[in-house]
Amino acid sequence: MRELISNHKPEIIILMETKVPFSSMGNFFNNMGFTAATIVDPVGRAGGIWLLWDPTHVNIRASNVTSQVIQATIHKEDYEEWILSAVYASPHPSLRDELWNNLEAAAQSMEQPWLVAGDFNDYANHNERRSFSTYYNHNRTQKFAERINNCNLIDLGCVGPRLTWTNNRHGLANIMERLDRAMSNEKWRALFPEGTVRTLPRTHSDHSPLIVLTQGMHTRPSC
């Protein structure tokens, strides 16, 4: 984490599946300038969403906090305010349905630029999964794609490896999927026309870190 922050200098950090309560790591982030946070701690070792930011660069006001999403307003000097939904979708289908019902309801009344990013525990088509198994759940991927469309979200794509998660097994048992992504509505894309998503190499996690650069590849990233 120190290396990621030193190399990429994010203004916002989103961590998911944290395994530990924030109280055990608060000083670590404070010492690196991330002195403000909205937290959903894990239950046992399941779940957890931490939204942290450097208040010298950006101000954030959370408006909706659940076990699967933190929705917040992002304010930065000289920029229009926009909405961030930091998502950790449950691995349980019924709970994911609750998340998407809430996102669809938010989309219906959304009048501001909106970025939705995180771990969705779903992939949208067969090209977003690599496995030696022939199993492919078409109904699940179709439902996920329909949910994205219902929210009027645009997939921002990525620069770097496309598949963001692995089960860390070897040989024929290995599976890789694109579970993590960033999406936006048209207003966010118009506000940040050079916005880019980079996928970084996996290190200590089974997920690859994502960086959203609001002003393109050569400027300070937002999250």
Q: What is the pLDDT of residues 57-99, one digit of tens each?
A: 999 999 999 999 999 999 999 899 999 999 999 999 999 999 9
Tokens of 223: 């999250």
pLDDT tens by residue, 9-51: 999 999 999 999 999 999 999 999 999 999 999 998 889 999 9
**What is the mean pLDDT of the segment spanning 102-106?**
97
Angle between helices 93-109 and 138-150 (to 10 degrees): 20
Q: Angle at the Cα of 171 (from 170 to 176), degrees rounded to 5? A: 70
The predicted structure's pLDDT at residue 204: 85
The domain 2-213 having CATH identifier 3.60.10.10: the answer here is yes
- List residues bridging with 129 in a β-sheet: 177
pLDDT band at 222 (very low <50, low <70, confident <90, very high): low
* For residue 4, pLDDT beyond 80: yes
* For residue 223, pLDDT beyond 60: no
The predicted structure's pLDDT at residue 104: 98
150 near 75, Cβ under 8 Å? no
pLDDT tens by residue, 137-176: 889 999 999 999 999 999 999 999 999 999 999 999 999 9
Q: Whole-prediction pTM value?
A: 0.93
The predicted structure's pLDDT at residue 132: 87
Burial class (CB in 10 A: 0-12, 13-18, 19+), 87: buried
User: Residue ranges per domain, the chain?
Assistant: 2-213
For the chain, what is the mean pLDDT? 94
